[in-house]
């Protein structure tokens, strides 16, 4: 699907000698290229006149004079036009105010209004390339909650992730797999084809062990192990290298249901056979120095397994509260997991050898790329200094306004990569 | 795609013994049916408790007790749940205030908040069945401008049209045909398959003759005829029975470029061969009693053709101005075609034998089903009294807020059908 906004989120990027942006056709009909009479572009107050940018339609790049002379190109409603603006060195990484004026001639309007102007404005993000080596950048489809299946297909989500220069995709098993737990063979083929098309690697697969699935009794350890094994097998078929089973909890501290140990232990052989790491999630309000985390570390120690490791949700490092509320929770503006837990970096350093995956949870990154809640500078610095080289997977959890997650993920990648560059530089 | 709103536009309807509505899963993950703990429904202030409605998931209809007992059903993110509420006689046709509270148990939340409530409200429209005989009800994809390709696929659009009980679909050739003017054979197959799946008939195909396509010269009559013939052939392949070539105009009165006569005349044999009616559009600010319309009538008279007839855009009957502006027109709040032209019904009666198709243009229908601009009661009454039995094809042209066109089209069909029932009753 295309973005509702005329100025698309995808495709805003630097190219040799300038920058590009993508537009959808602002009129209600497609047109021959000769009726597109130029696109004026303004970025952060600097203007490029309507006859300056080159336009790419259906893979052909032309000047305004060429459009006027007739090239056979058309601008369809279901396709974007790429507008290429000359600007040596391109635009700085980060958020820009972008304005366009699209001129379309409409012969069916009286001559004095036939040359129509369609204006649009947007804040759009230039994401710098990821620095080589070290951290690997991914995105969780959780970031696109609300947009997925309403304005984004799986193909769109992958295109977004690839467009911002990330290479990993994290999914929610029961959420992003149609027909879960038994997707059709066609869908599995489709999944692998899309991964290839977009050059993405399947990273982590979020699963659940719903211990309170039944009202009158808890799941047994056997049932819980069956659930984990089902998700391990499905994750393996889709090419994932870790799963995060989210166990039902029995306390406000998120103590997992006690069957977790036996259920995981019964799944370790299969995890080893499939070479998938089972990752319990360390999630606010549970810090690193806490019996829950310690129990996971003890389990690793005791079993000697290489297929059970920690997944860190960066919400635990939050230094300021989040007051946007949370879907499905009423009567309390700020649930416990949105309070700042402010886990110190030293605690992270201590468990880093056991950390397999990081969900880069965040709520908001502003126009200056500042995050008011999560202290990314020390987090990235810690990871770089200690040579951690796993996946940093964007997990946007802020307000679910349409398209907001997509924009915010781009901001986060711009911020994280600039911080990584500083930390390694 | 699903609607962004939890309460979907499609699927709100009366069924024997009650009414139904469709919901998308309000959480960020799919769940086993046993975790869905009921849906409370309030319509216009009347409440049905959470354990009253039956729920349909993946084609299986169950009670809350059955959900709790475990049926194997799941509520996925990409699928709707149908909620069936008992109410003898169902709901009245028209706009209703609908509220739902969806209860989902989330075992990964602390026990005291694990039963979460997700609330949603919406205005939704019950559309009565179309009265038998006489008028035929269709929808133009123009109504969905802005939504098409951003939150609606062609499949979605057809599903919307079928869901509101219309049977005709009107399209814009250069607009709704990917790869126009050369769609792939696969797309053409897809088009016919979708028509069949949704039980729809292809009605009118909007085309253009862009006489001002080139800046330095006008199209020749030969080129214009080639354009019409191209669209006739493409329309025929897609099963349409009329095309509306919108000629470039040369005056504020929308006088078509004078080549129209020769271009149409050269296309009449092909139109006859394909049995497609070529329909010039009578559109505000051009009334029925006007040289432009008279010229079309003279052409019919002179050629004796049965394949050139009028298309009436109901904007000509407008009795009040529309002040929402129009995309691409700046500096003037109310362009001429948004002024009330108030063409009298007697003029319509006079040309009715020559009218092949009616675009039921409108801008707004309020919560009481009143249209402040277009006088539907006399229009429908006139059509019924004179036994006109062509297509009345919804053409929403109001504000392009997301989903607004879809909601407004439902309102219009509710209104038109109630008026038709009154007029025939």
Test mutation, A328, A329, A331, A359, chain B, max B CBs within 10 A: A328
Confidence at residue B133, expressed as pLDDT on a 0 to 100 scale: 78
Q: How far is B280 from chain A (nearest CA, A)?
A: 12
Per the CB < 8 Å rule, is B329 touching A116? yes
* Chain B: residue whose CA lies nearest to A147: B4
Per the CB < 8 Å rule, is A328 touching B68? no
Q: Per the residue annotation, which of B96, B190, B198, B283 is the catalytic one?
A: B283
- Partnered with residue B256 across adjacent β-strands are B249
CA distance B62 to A264: 34
Q: Which residues of A touch B117 (CB under 8 A)?
A: 328, 330
Among the partner-chain residues A145, A180, A212, the one whose CB lies closest to the CB of B74 is A180
Q: Which residues of B touch A108 (CB under 8 A)?
A: 208, 210, 246-249
Domains of chain A by residue range? 13-126, 136-424
Per the CB < 8 Å rule, is A210 touching B32? yes
Q: How far is A143 from chain B (nearest CA, A)?
A: 10
DSSP letter (8 states) at residue B256: B
The residue behind tokens 């500078």 is: A377
- Whether the CB-CB separation of A99 and A75 falls below 8 Å is answered with no
Confidence at residue B333, expressed as pLDDT on a 0 to 100 scale: 65
CA distance A126 to A10: 10
For residue B181, the number of C-alpha atoms closer than 13 Å in the C-beta half-sphere is: 17
Question: Taking 80 as the threshold, does the pLDDT of residue A281 lie above it?
Answer: yes
The torsion angle over the Cα atoms of residues A24, B146, B139 and B203, rounded to 10 degrees, is -10
The C-alpha angle with vertex A408 and arms to A405 and A414, in degrees rounded to 5, equals 145
Confidence at residue A18, expressed as pLDDT on a 0 to 100 scale: 98
Q: Which residues of A touch B148 (CB under 8 A)?
A: 77-78
- Whether the CB-CB separation of B50 and B40 falls below 8 Å is answered with yes
Q: Domain spanning A136-424 has what CATH number? A: 3.20.20.150
CA distance B144 to B1: 14
- Whether the CB-CB separation of A241 and A203 falls below 8 Å is answered with yes
Confidence at residue B324, expressed as pLDDT on a 0 to 100 scale: 81
Per the CB < 8 Å rule, is B35 touching A104? no
- Whether the CB-CB separation of A114 and A374 falls below 8 Å is answered with no
Confidence at residue B248, expressed as pLDDT on a 0 to 100 scale: 96
pLDDT-derived band at A332, boundaries 50, 70, 90: low
- Whether the CB-CB separation of B349 and B234 falls below 8 Å is answered with no
- Whether the CB-CB separation of B400 and B408 falls below 8 Å is answered with no
Q: How far is A268 from chain B (nearest CA, A)?
A: 22
Per the CB < 8 Å rule, is A178 touching B106? no
Confidence at residue A253, expressed as pLDDT on a 0 to 100 scale: 81
Among the partner-chain residues A118, A149, A248, the one whose CB lies closest to the CB of B78 is A149
Per the CB < 8 Å rule, is B104 touching A328? yes
Query: Count of CB contacts below 8 A, A vs B?
Result: 190
Confidence at residue A333, expressed as pLDDT on a 0 to 100 scale: 65
Q: Which residues of A touch B250 (CB under 8 A)?
A: 111
Per the CB < 8 Å rule, is B174 touching A247? no
Start-to-end Cα distance in chain B: 39
Among the partner-chain residues A109, A142, A249, the one whose CB lies closest to the CB of B28 is A142
Average pLDDT, chain B: 96
Q: Which residues of B touch A179 (CB under 8 A)?
A: 76
For residue A132, the number of C-alpha atoms closer than 13 Å in the C-beta half-sphere is: 0
Among the partner-chain residues A116, A142, A149, the one whose CB lies closest to the CB of B328 is A116
Confidence at residue A81, expressed as pLDDT on a 0 to 100 scale: 98
User: Residues of chain B whose pLDDT is less than 50?
Assistant: none
Test mutation, B110, B250, B311, chain A, max A CBs within 10 A: B110
Q: Per the residue annotation, which of A257, A283, A290, A307 is the catalytic one?
A: A283
Q: How far is A131 from chain B (nearest CA, A)?
A: 32
The model's pLDDT over A364-401, given as tens digits with 9 standing for 90+, comes to: 999 999 999 999 999 999 999 999 999 999 999 999 99
* Chain A: residue whose CA lies nearest to B397: A28
Confidence at residue B72, expressed as pLDDT on a 0 to 100 scale: 86
State the helix-helix crossing angle for B404-424 and B376-385, rounded to 10 degrees: 50
Test mutation, A77, A218, A333, chain B, max B CBs within 10 A: A77
Per the CB < 8 Å rule, is B1 touching A149? yes
Which of A156, A166, A139, A169 is CA-nearest to residue A80?
A156
Q: Which residues of A touch B78 (CB under 8 A)?
A: 148-149, 178
Among the partner-chain residues A78, A113, A180, the one whose CB lies closest to the CB of B149 is A78
pLDDT-derived band at A112, boundaries 50, 70, 90: confident
Strand A36-43 relative to strand A46-48: parallel, antiparallel, unpaired?
A: antiparallel
Test mutation, A212, A216, A244, chain B, max B CBs within 10 A: A212
* Chain B: residue whose CA lies nearest to A116: B328
Confidence at residue B237, expressed as pLDDT on a 0 to 100 scale: 98
Catalytic (active site) residue B283: yes
Burial class (CB in 10 A: 0-12, 13-18, 19+), A180: buried
Test mutation, B22, B35, B109, B112, chain A, max A CBs within 10 A: B109
Q: Which residues of A touch B116 (CB under 8 A)?
A: 328-329
Confidence at residue B332, expressed as pLDDT on a 0 to 100 scale: 64
**Preceding peptide of B181 cis, ω within 30°:** yes
CA distance A330 to A328: 6
Q: How far is B27 from chain A (nearest CA, A)?
A: 7
Which of B313, B308, B212 is CA-nearest to residue A105?
B212
Per the CB < 8 Å rule, is B328 touching A213? no
> Which ipTM value was assigned to this complex?
0.96
Confidence at residue B176, expressed as pLDDT on a 0 to 100 scale: 98
Whats the size of chain A, residue-wise? 425
Q: Which residues of B touch A24 (CB under 8 A)?
A: 149-150
* Chain B: residue whose CA lies nearest to A69: B214
φ, ψ of residue B99 in degrees (nearest 5): -125, 145
């Amino acid at each position: 699907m295309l973005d509702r906004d005329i100025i698309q989120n995808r495709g805003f990027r630097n190219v040799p000698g300038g920058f590009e942006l993508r537009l959808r056709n602002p009129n209600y009909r497609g047109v021959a290229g000769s009726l597109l009479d130029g696109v004026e572009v303004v970025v952060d107050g600097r203007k490029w006149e309507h006859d300056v940018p080159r336009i790419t339609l259906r893979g052909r790049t032309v000047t305004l004079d060429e459009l006027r002379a007739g090239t056979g190109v058309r601008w369809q409603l279901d396709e974007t036009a790429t507008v290429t603006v000359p600007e040596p060195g391109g635009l700085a990484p980060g958020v820009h105010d972008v304005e366009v004026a699209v001129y379309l001639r409409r012969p069916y309007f009286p001559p004095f209004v036939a040359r129509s102007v369609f204006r649009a404005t947007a804040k759009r993000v230039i994401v710098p390339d990821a620095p080589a080596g070290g951290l690997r950048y991914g995105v969780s489809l959780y970031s696109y909650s609300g947009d997925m299946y309403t304005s984004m297909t799986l193909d769109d989500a992958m295109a977004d992730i690839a467009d911002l220069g990330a290479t990993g995709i994290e999914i929610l098993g029961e959420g992003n797999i149609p027909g879960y737990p038994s997707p059709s063979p066609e869908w599995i083929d489709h999944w692998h084809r899309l991964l290839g098309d977009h050059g993405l690697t399947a990273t982590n697969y979020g699963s659940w062990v719903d211990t309170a699935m039944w009202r009158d009794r808890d799941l047994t350890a056997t049932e819980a192990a069956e659930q984990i094994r089902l998700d391990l097998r499905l994750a393996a078929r889709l090419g994932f290298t870790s799963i995060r089973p989210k166990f039902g909890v029995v306390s406000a501290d998120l103590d997992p249901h006690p069957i977790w140990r036996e259920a995981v232990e019964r799944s370790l052989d299969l995890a080893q056979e499939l070479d998938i790491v089972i990752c319990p999630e360390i999630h606010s309000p549970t810090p690193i120095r806490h019996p829950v985390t310690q129990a996971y570390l003890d389990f690793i120690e005791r079993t000697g397994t290489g297929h059970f490791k920690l997944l860190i949700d960066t919400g635990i490092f939050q230094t300021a509260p989040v007051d946007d509320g949370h879907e499905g929770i009423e009567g309390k503006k700020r649930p416990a997991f949105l309070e700042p837990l402010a886990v110190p970096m030293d605690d992270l350093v201590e468990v880093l050898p056991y950390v397999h995956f990081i969900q880069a949870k965040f709520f908001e990154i502003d126009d200056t790329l500042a995050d008011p809640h999560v202290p990314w500078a020390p987090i990235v610095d810690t990871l770089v200094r200690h040579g951690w080289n796993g996946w940093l997977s964007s997990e946007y959890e802020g307000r679910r306004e349409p398209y907001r997650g997509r924009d915010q993920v781009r901001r986060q990648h711009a911020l994280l990569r600039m911080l990584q560059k500083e930390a390694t530089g």
